[in-house]
């Protein structure tokens, strides 16, 4: 099987079989233009979902001989009534079927173990949660191999001042100490996961400045893999000044170049999707929506549990970011993450977030209430 781009697919296929989900981006995808690119006399089979193929375009192409035959198993409006069916009358070389498929019980039994062996795809996938038996097939298999997690989001260098008194504008303030740390929900989560012994990779964009070098080195030193972190030329790595007053209140001054949240180039995007399908769990921070959507898509595609860290100050929301702040791709059925959870007040509770995310994978129910957050331990930059 050769992977080609969509143009080549239409242009070079003597027969085209449609297996795309119905999404806003795929509606009418196989229409007059696409069929026009196919070789003269090609065949078309659609068993996907009504709406992906434009039936009027197919009828016209069959009448003109552009298509030598078409089999339409799914329809924009189902069931097709006699009035709707009339448009197909007299169209040559057209097979119309009403999606009469069923799963043969005998085949199903023979098939399931093979699915388990060759990939993560399983029948009976659970969209909103996973039982512990799904997450960990047997104690032996987890003991023999480190679990792997992919974290996607933003990376920030924090400079933290522990002020002695309350902030007064316009007045010089004194601090007990000023420390450096790295921040960003996905980044702190990655470091925490590494500490828990997880094989963890972080994908978050940094600039080509000293801060970026420092940040990367600090992550590597903690066992977080950073090979796929994009480095944006001429851009400063995101940074925050954090001032913590004795009462525990914090004030943050952040700088983030928009280029750090720009979409990945196609090659890197493809890699991210593929990587998300190969790990045991995916954790995204929606502050970089373009990359988060790709990772969730890759995870959903391979039935890998995924978790998004909410940035909304929701208290015990179970919907988290999905659908509210997330781009369309995240809320589309195809890329629904397997596990949905949200942290309450997002940012600095990395260890708790990871622990709870891992915990959520074992829970029988989809609901995850925000835990009482442990006091965050900051990791100083080396």
Partner 1 sequence: MSGRPRVVVSEFIAPEGIARLGAAVELVADATLVSDRARLLAAVADADGLIVRDRTQVDVELLDAAPGLRTVGRLGVGTDNLDLEALAARGVVVHLATGANAISVAEHVIGALLCLSRPSFSSSERVIAGEWPRTELIGRELAGRRLGLLGFGATARAVAHRAAALGMEVVTSDPMVTDPGRA
Nearer to partner 1, 99 or 178 (CB): 99
Shortest Å distance, C-beta 97 to partner 1? 7
- Alpha-carbon span 15 to 370, nearest angstrom: 51
Closest CA to 260 of 282, 284, 229, 283: 229
Q: How many CA atoms lie within 13 Å of 340's alpha carbon, on the beta-carbon side?
A: 20
- Alpha-carbon span 97 to 285, nearest angstrom: 44
DSSP string covering 245-309, please?
Answer: -TTS-EEEEEE--GGGGSPPPHHHHHHHHHHHTTSSEEEEETTSHHHHHHHHHHHHHTT--EEEE
Task: At 161, list the tokens.
Answer: 């001042």
Shortest Å distance, C-beta 171 to partner 1? 47
Q: How far is CA 211 from the centre of its chain?
A: 27
Task: At 100, list the tokens.
Answer: 């009469």
Nearer to partner 1, 259 or 290 (CB): 290
Nearer to partner 1, 111 or 176 (CB): 111
The CA-based diameter of the chain, rounded to the nearest angstrom, is 86
Shortest Å distance, C-beta 75 to partner 1? 12
Shortest Å distance, C-beta 114 to partner 1? 10
Nearer to partner 1, 60 or 159 (CB): 60
Residues in the chain: 382
Shortest Å distance, C-beta 226 to partner 1? 21
Shortest Å distance, C-beta 235 to partner 1? 26
Task: At 181, list the tokens.
Answer: 């740390």
Shortest Å distance, C-beta 277 to partner 1? 8
The DSSP element (H or E) to which 157 belongs, if any, is strand 156-163
Assess whether the previous peptide bond of 79 is cis (omega < 30° from 0).
Answer: yes
Nearer to partner 1, 80 or 243 (CB): 80
- Residue 368 · residue 341 · CB < 8 Å: yes
- Alpha-carbon span 337 to 150, nearest angstrom: 14
- Residue 260 · residue 154 · CB < 8 Å: yes
C-alpha dihedral (266, 268, 269, 275), degrees to nearest 10: 150
Nearer to partner 1, 67 or 238 (CB): 67
Shortest Å distance, C-beta 264 to partner 1? 13
Shortest Å distance, C-beta 205 to partner 1? 20
Nearer to partner 1, 120 or 136 (CB): 120
Coil, strand or helix: which one is 94?
A: strand
Nearer to partner 1, 122 or 145 (CB): 122
Backbone angles phi, psi at 62, to 5 degrees: -70, -40
Nearer to partner 1, 191 or 284 (CB): 284
């Amino acid at each position: 099987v050769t992977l080609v781009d969509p143009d080549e697919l239409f242009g070079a296929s003597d027969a085209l079989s449609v297996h795309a989900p119905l999404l806003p981006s795929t509606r009418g995808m196989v229409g007059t233009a696409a069929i026009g690119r196919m070789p003269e006399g090609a065949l078309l089979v659609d068993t996907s979902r009504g709406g992906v193929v434009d039936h009027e375009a197919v009828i016209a192409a069959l009448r003109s001989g552009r298509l030598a035959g078409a089999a339409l198993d799914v329809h924009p409006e189902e069931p097709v009534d006699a009035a709707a069916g009339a448009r197909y009358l007299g169209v040559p070389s057209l097979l119309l079927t009403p999606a009469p498929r069923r799963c043969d019980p005998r085949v199903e039994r023979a098939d399931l173990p093979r699915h388990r062996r060759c990939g993560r795809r399983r029948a009976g996938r659970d969209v909103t949660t996973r039982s512990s038996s799904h997450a960990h097939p047997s104690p032996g298999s987890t003991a023999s191999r480190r679990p792997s997690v992919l974290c996607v989001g933003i990376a920030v260098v924090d400079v933290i001042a522990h002020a002695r008194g309350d902030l007064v504008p316009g007045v010089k303030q004194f601090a007990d100490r000023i420390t450096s740390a790295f921040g960003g929900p996905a980044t702190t989560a990655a470091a925490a996961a590494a500490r828990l012994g997880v094989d963890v990779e972080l994908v978050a964009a940094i600039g080509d400045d000293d801060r970026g070098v420092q940040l990367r080195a600090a992550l590597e030193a903690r066992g977080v893999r950073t090979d796929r972190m994009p480095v944006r030329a001429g851009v400063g790595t995101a940074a925050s000044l954090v001032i913590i007053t004795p009462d525990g209140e914090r004030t943050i001054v952040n700088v983030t170049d928009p280029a750090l949240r720009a979409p990945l180039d196609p090659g890197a995007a493809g890699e991210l999707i593929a990587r998300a399908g190969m790990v045991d769990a995916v954790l995204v921070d929606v502050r970089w929506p373009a990359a988060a959507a790709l990772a969730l898509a890759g995870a959903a595609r391979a039935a890998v549990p995924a978790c998004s860290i909410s940035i909304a100050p929701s208290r015990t929301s179970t919907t988290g970011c999905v659908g509210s702040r997330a781009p369309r791709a995240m809320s589309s059925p195809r890329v629904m993450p397997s596990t949905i959870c949200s942290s309450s007040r997002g940012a600095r509770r990395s260890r708790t977030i990871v622990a709870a995310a891992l915990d959520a994978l074992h829970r029988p129910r989809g609901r995850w209430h925000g835990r009482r957050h442990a006091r965050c331990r900051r990791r100083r930059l080396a």
